Structure 1
């Protein structure tokens, strides 16, 4: 997390665990003092680094304001690790979703629905930055985020692990509400402009769609993710009852 205000908010949030704050050696005066006071109050150490180092770590030289914080995300782990003996049964895969607001809202919705994992590749998807955190209303830090290099890599790992891989699209072969799902299933959510990428599409077992009697062409990807997530909740509740 980078930027003066987001870092101060993280330090002031008792629900978050901040490992450390890194402050550029060019940040002096009241701004530096404010951050140092907040960190001391939260029991968080402050390290000094060059302005260049802070920019490299933040990955955003225009908005870091010379300060960043390492915030602990306890449920974040590599996808390959998650596919072990206690692999999640239902997983979302983000493929080419580049709008931070959409990524943040999907993380919030999936966490609320109790899904076991959301694959957020490091390439081709919006970075997990303050814009994503803001859109998730802070939930991104405790979301079940699974990391890998690309959506294609995620698809290959999931198929190899025995998951049924489905893509969500307006022209899917069957309705989301009717499709029979295997015990483990992963759903690919495509980008805002181009949808599911060709390299991932060739690995999917089937395409499903959300019925829209109102003749709207498609939903925003975060809205579609919400429908999908809570359809999976409905199925789980029905199975238990």
Structure 2
């Protein structure tokens, strides 16, 4: 399944999209743009904490053939759920909730693969950070095999805020990292749990590692020191499934 990125252009069109509650994946703004209407748009962008990229007009001309007025935005193909609603809905489940937090993941294909595996493993919801995370675009949709339309996904300002919020509801936070001696197989994953995966280069950030309840790793028997993050995530999720069966 492949979806084309929905793209809108023009200052007024982007303002109306924001006011109607559309999920904007990224907003491209021409460098040096000014004027009263742009100031109105800028207030909306700051209030909504959107991902903004300031680019030369040539970039915008490539993104849109129409009169873009210095602004082009990509609309996400899905609607996001709030963290509060996600947790509230999880309290109604007959089984222990299983959350997945992605800390700094930027590769869209890895993101799509993780969403696909998460849906297969019965993950309650995926939580990502508003800024700096992989967007949900055509590649994400395709790699997820359409699972992105079935999986609740939540955006938060900071992953650490989600960690603390989940902990107040008794959810155990398990961070995947090689910076530990504990194996994932030795941790009880049958209770409400959230698994934290980091990005390919740096892994889970130090501040999140400190906030997590447990740190866990997978055994590495070969000469290569790490797994692809989507593969590692699958191993963690299926260990959770195994324990819960």
Which 5+ residue runs of structure 2 have no aligned equivalent?
A: 18-23, 29-58, 66-72
Question: 1:206 corresponds to which residue?
Answer: 214
1:69 positional shift: 6.5
The number of residues matched between the two structures is 194
Q: Which residue number corresponds to residue 224 of structure 1?
A: 232
Distance, in Å, in 2 between the alignment partners of 1:119 and 1:70 is 16
Aligned residue number for residue 26 of structure 2 = 59
Cα distance in structure 2, aligned partners of 1:146 and 1:92: 10
- The answer to whether the aligner puts 1:86 opposite 2:86 as a matched pair is no
Question: How far, CA to CA, are the matches of 1:204 and 1:136 in structure 2?
Answer: 27
* Range that drifts further, 228-237 or 132-141: 132-141
Provide the residue aligned with 1:77 in structure 2.
81
Q: 1:82 to 1:116 in 2, by over 3 A?
A: same
Relative to the length of structure 2, the TM-score reads: 0.68
Matched residues in 1 for 2:7 and 2:180: separation? 47
Cα distance in 2 between the residues matched to 1:104 and 1:71 = 13
**Superposed CA offset, 1:124-175 (max 9, x none):** 3112222322321222122121222221111111112211111101233311
Conserved? CA contact 1:164–1:182, under 8 Å: no
Question: Paired residue for 2:162?
Answer: 154
Provide the rounded CA distance (Å) in 1 between the counterparts of 2:12 and 2:233.
38
1:18: which partner in 2?
none
How far 1:181 sits from its partner (Å)? 3.3
* Two-structure CA RMSD over aligned residues (Å): 3.0
Alignment of 1:113-132 (within 5 A): 113-132=121-140
Determine helix, strand or coil for the equivalent of 2:202: coil
What is the SS of the residue equivalent to 2:99?
strand
Structure 2 counterpart of 1:6: 3
The 8 Å contact of residues 174 and 215 in structure 2, kept in 1 or not, is answered as yes
The alpha carbon displacement at 1:216 in A equals 2.9
Secondary structure class of the residue paired with 2:225: coil
Query: How far apart, in 2, do the equivalents of 1:218 and 1:70 lie?
Result: 31
- Listed as ranges, the gaps of 5+ residues in structure 1 are 11-20, 25-49
